[in-house]
Each structure stands twice: as C-alpha cells, then as structure tokens.
Amino acid sequence: MGTEDGSTRDWIEWHRNYDDPDSRQSWRLRTVRRRIGEALAAMPGGEVRVISLCAGDGRDLLGVLESHARAADVVALLVELDPELAARARTRAARTPAKVRVVTGDAAVTDTYAAVVPVDLVLVCGVFGNIADEDVATTIRALPGLCRWGTEIVWTRHRRPPDLVPTVLDWFAGAGFTALSVDDAPDHAVCVGHCRYAGDGDRLVLGERWFAFR
C-alpha cells in the first residue's frame, strides 16, 4: 500500500506511520480491512481468488486473513516491487490459513496476472494517488480483464485539489462497475472506495503496461 499524497517516499520508512493509530495511514488500513472482510464474508462458498496490486507488506489483506472465517478459502496473489516489503509479506502470509503467493515484480504489467484471472476481489490501494490521471483511467478501463461478474474492487485515492474522486467514480461506472461505498477519512484527505463489477469480464490483454509510479 503506497502513499496517497503523490510525493516520493522511502517506502520502508513510510510503513512506520502505521505504528501511529491516529495517522491517516492507520485510518485507511482499518477501513480497507473492514471492506475486505465484508467482501470476503459475502462471497459464495468455495474458493475465493484475490489480487493485490502494489501490495506493500500485505498488511491490508493479510491482517484480515489471519482471523477471517473465509481465510482458508482464499487463494491470493500479492504483487510488490520492493524486495524487502515483499519478503515481509511472505513471512506474514505463512501465518494465515490462506494460499498466498507473493511476487516481487511490477504490478502494472498485465502478464503478471495471466495465470490467476478471473478473480473475485481486487485491491488497488495506494496506487491511484501515485500515478498520472490518464494512467488511473487506463487502469480502471483495463480492470475488467481481471474480473468476472460480481468481482469486487477496493481502491484508495487522496482528495487533494483538484479532487479526482468524482471522476474516478465515473470511470469505474463507464467500465461496468457499480459503486458500493466511498469512505472518507475524518480530515477528508483520503478515501476508500468499494465497487462491484456488473459485466461479464473481458480478455486480459498480455504485454500491456497500465501505469508508472510518478
């Protein structure tokens, strides 16, 4: 999970902000976990496939899987470019009953997901605040390639002016997604969105790149 203010970060140092329970990052983490937990609880019985883009140390999903009733049904792919954060995610994943694979690689490249799609839940947390607006649009338009009918997306975005969130919601709607909720932080600086795909899925086009971190 990356920063939402668009600035360059030392990602290892940035993760220490989670140690402050009153920080913006901690609020976002709690909210993302709540939405993940609700999504998993509502999934039909059987295997639940999950993808996390730019997963960081995986604490959003893995923190839920350590105690969730559906954890043993989850087959997850976490993609993180930073080797240390990916290693931390692997260590934590071993403590869950889920089947979790952590890939140290580029979450923007479509080939990364070819073997696992379609999935039931996609996490795009800490991404939209760190890429160009046109890359946000490109990524949203491409997300149906990861989906089947009913796939849920949990995403985050900062609210700095000019606030892109209304446009992000329009882009999701245009790609076939129905908005389920948008949670705003107490200071209205960042939000957590949750939507569901209402289409029949799309072919994942290999060899494409959706975004580049700024």
| Each residue's pLDDT tens digit, 63-106 | 999 999 999 999 999 999 999 999 999 999 999 999 999 999 99
Q: Is residue 76 part of a domain?
A: yes
Q: Is residue 207 part of a domain?
A: no
Q: Is residue 208 part of a domain?
A: no
Q: What is the CATH number of the domain that holds 191?
A: 3.40.50.150
Q: Is residue 202 part of a domain?
A: no
Handedness of CA 208, 9, 86, 44 (dihedral sign): negative
Q: Is the pLDDT of residue 168 over 90?
A: yes
What is the extent of the structural domain holding 152? Answer: 21-197
Count up the domains in the chain and report the number.
Answer: 1
pLDDT at 132: 98
**What does the angle CA 140 – CA 143 – CA 145 come to, to the nearest 5 degrees?**
145
Residue with tokens 């149906």: 144
Q: Is the pLDDT of residue 9 over 90?
A: no
Q: Is the pLDDT of residue 207 over 50?
A: yes
Q: Is residue 182 part of a domain?
A: yes
Q: Is residue 1 part of a domain?
A: no
Q: Is residue 5 part of a domain?
A: no
Question: What's the predicted TM-score (pTM) here?
Answer: 0.92
* CB neighbourhood size of 173 (10 A): 14
Q: Is residue 193 part of a domain?
A: yes
Under 8 Å between Cβ of 2 and 130:
yes
